Structure 1
Amino acid sequence: MDADAHGGTAGYGVWSVYYDTTDLRFYWEKIEGLRFRRKLRLRHYGDRSRITDDTTVFVEIKQRVNRVTQKRRVALPYRLARELCDQRVMVEHDPGQRAFLEEVLELICGLDLRPVAMTGYHRDAFLGRDADVGLRVTVDYRIRGRDRDFHLGADTENRLIVPPKLAILEVKANERIPYWLTDLTARNNLQVVRVSKYCQSVEAYGRAPRSIFHVTDEPSLALTKAAH
């Protein structure tokens, strides 16, 4: 596979602020494994220490319908993204973005969403080539989180929410995951597990009891998550 051009061989940082209800509706929908569920987040790729009001961030709705995971998003300057999600006002946008921004506003206002947790990690990303176009593999490590100070660029202490010796390997494919990759994961005894970085952050700060899906500090544990 080839390294993702956005991160090259060094990878890149991924920082996300997750929105939820006061009773953590999105958290519990994930824990209960509902066939249709959504969550809203603000996401930044790169060095968070350089974030300004004009930095491009993404407002994303990630949803799962049965076994299919979908991610829809729009890119906005950080200032406008905060106005949309925190001040709950429509912002300047391209004509093609309006329907999605209205959906975001309806979700925020209808459920009274607010920032609940933040996650950050370093990501190495790889893309399939030739017959494997559409294949994407990511390795996330140094996975941290916090439950306050939700400005993406805030110089605030974060807590490790996955043991530092572990990484999360995600396999994503538009069609079928190629045989050579399923064979490779089998030969390395990787187990398919359910894990949510958002849920890890919520549980790490005691906002909800630890679920059976919480990642424990087991040296032999390897994580892989496949999405179609």
Structure 2
Amino acid sequence: EDKHNGTIGYPVRSVYFDSYADADFYDKLHGLEYRKKVRLRTYSPDSPTVKLEIKRKVGDSQEKKSLIISKEDAKELINLNYHVLKKYESETASMFYNIMRFNGLRPVVHVEYRRKAFIHPMNNIRITLDSDIRSSETDFNMFNELPILVPVEDYYFALLEVKYNAFIFKWITDLIGFHDLTRLSYSKYMVSRGIFERYMA
């Protein structure tokens, strides 16, 4: 079990970015083979640092790269000041700067949920249960102690995700099969942009 779980899991907050043409949203909506998502992520509004992440997906293959930045620089990115990335002298920082600047990325949705995670050191197996998924498409202040967010799923709904490198233990697949669980494609980013999808897409 993840040491951060506590009794009810831990909060995960993200602010997702997209272009003014919402290219990443439409790439996912249309099921394109290559697609990406860029986000800021924190596990506490009081944390002095934030993760800037990009997830790229080509078919079933997925790659994620991260850059640790300061809380203040995360606020600057939300305010569209990409130049703060120039102070981080790394190839990853340069990549983020180029992607965010030349694609004109801006914040589009703030997502929060509660996670319980279970890990196994062999093959980097990680099982997560995400619940109480809420979002806002207008308030991107991920450092607010009590943000006003709207539920996007039933409160008792939980999303089970199993991640691993090359293979998964048979007892895990047997357990999933025993409970008659169905594999599905679910994007917290997409469901959290419900207002945009209903009225703008």
Give TM-score, length-normalised by structure 1.
Answer: 0.80
Q: RMSD between aligned alpha carbons?
A: 1.8
| Distance in structure 2 (CA, Å) of the matches to 1:28 and 1:177 | 32
Preserved CA contact (<8 Å) 1:84 1:91: no
| Distance in structure 1 (CA, Å) of the matches to 2:27 and 2:147 | 29
* 1:137-157 superposed Cα distances (whole Å, 9 cap, x missing partner): 000000100011211122331
Residue of 129, 137, 143 corresponding to 2:133: 143
Helix, strand or coil for the counterpart of 1:152?
A: coil
1:170 is matched with: 161
Amino acid across the alignment from 1:124 = K
2:39 is matched with: 41
Gaps of 5+ in 1: 211-228
* 1:147-197 superposed Cα distances (whole Å, 9 cap, x missing partner): 112111223310001111210001000111211111111110111011110
1:105 is matched with: 97
Preserved CA contact (<8 Å) 1:9 1:124: no
* 1:123-150 superposed Cα distances (whole Å, 9 cap, x missing partner): 0000015xx4411000000010001121
| Distance in structure 2 (CA, Å) of the matches to 1:83 and 1:101 | 15
Amino acid across the alignment from 2:110 = M
Preserved CA contact (<8 Å) 2:86 2:97: no
Helix, strand or coil for the counterpart of 1:6?
A: coil
Give the ranges of 4+ consecutive aligned residues of structure 1 lying more than 4 Å apart after TM superposition. Answer: none
2:65 is matched with: 72
Deviation at 1:91, TM superposition (A): 4.0
Gaps of 5+ in 2: none
| Distance in structure 2 (CA, Å) of the matches to 1:102 and 1:12 | 31
1:187 is matched with: 178
| Distance in structure 2 (CA, Å) of the matches to 1:180 and 1:9 | 25
Preserved CA contact (<8 Å) 2:123 2:167: no
Preserved CA contact (<8 Å) 2:141 2:147: no
2:191 is matched with: 200
1:16 is matched with: 14
Preserved CA contact (<8 Å) 2:113 2:131: yes
| Distance in structure 2 (CA, Å) of the matches to 1:9 and 1:35 | 39
Where does 1:151-162 land on structure 2 (aligned, <5 Å)? 151-154=141-144, 155-162=146-153
* 1:46-99 superposed Cα distances (whole Å, 9 cap, x missing partner): 3x3x35xxx111000011122112211011111123335621103432x4xx21
Q: Percent identity?
A: 31
Helix, strand or coil for the counterpart of 1:144?
A: strand
Count of residues paired in the alignment: 196
- Further displaced range: 59-68 or 138-147: 59-68
Residue of 87, 102, 107 corresponding to 1:92: 87
Amino acid across the alignment from 2:168 = I
* 1:5-37 superposed Cα distances (whole Å, 9 cap, x missing partner): 233454211000000122321111112222211
Identify if the C-alpha distance between structure 1 residues 84 and 117 changes in structure 2 by more than 3 Å, giving closer, same or farther.
closer
1:28 aligns with 2:26: yes
